[in-house]
Amino acid sequence: METRNITSPIGSESGSGNQSARQQLTPGVTLVNRYNIQDVIGIGGMGSVYRARDLHFPNVVKLVAVK
C-alpha cells in the first residue's frame, strides 16, 4: 500500500467563513491534477475521507483530509 502526502490546503478561500465548510471537497473536484473526487466516505472530528480515482492509473483510492 502506498501512502502519499499532499500538503497544499484544500480550501481555496481564506479569511471569513466556516473552516469545515471551506474544506469540504465535492465530487468532480480534481486534486494536484491526479485525484478526482468521486464520493464522500465519511466526515468526523479529525477530518474527512473521500473515494477518488487516480487519473494516472486505473485505481480507486482513499483520500484522507485531516483538519
CATH number where 32 lies: 3.30.200.20
Domain assignment present for 1? no
Domain assignment present for 42? yes
Question: Hey, what's the cell of 23?
Answer: 474544506
Beta bridge partners of 31: 35
Q: Tell me how far apart the alpha carbons of residues 46 and 67 are, in angstroms, rounded to a whole number.
A: 6
Whether the model pTM is above 0.75: no
**Which domain does 30 fall in, by range?**
26-66
Domain assignment present for 16? no
Number of domains in the chain: 1
Domain assignment present for 12? no
Domain assignment present for 4? no
pLDDT digits (tens, 9 = 90+) for 6-15: 766 555 434 4
Given a contact cutoff of 8 angstroms between Cβ atoms, the answer to whether 40 and 22 are in contact is no
Which residues of the chain fall below pLDDT 70?
A: 1, 7-23
Domain assignment present for 30? yes
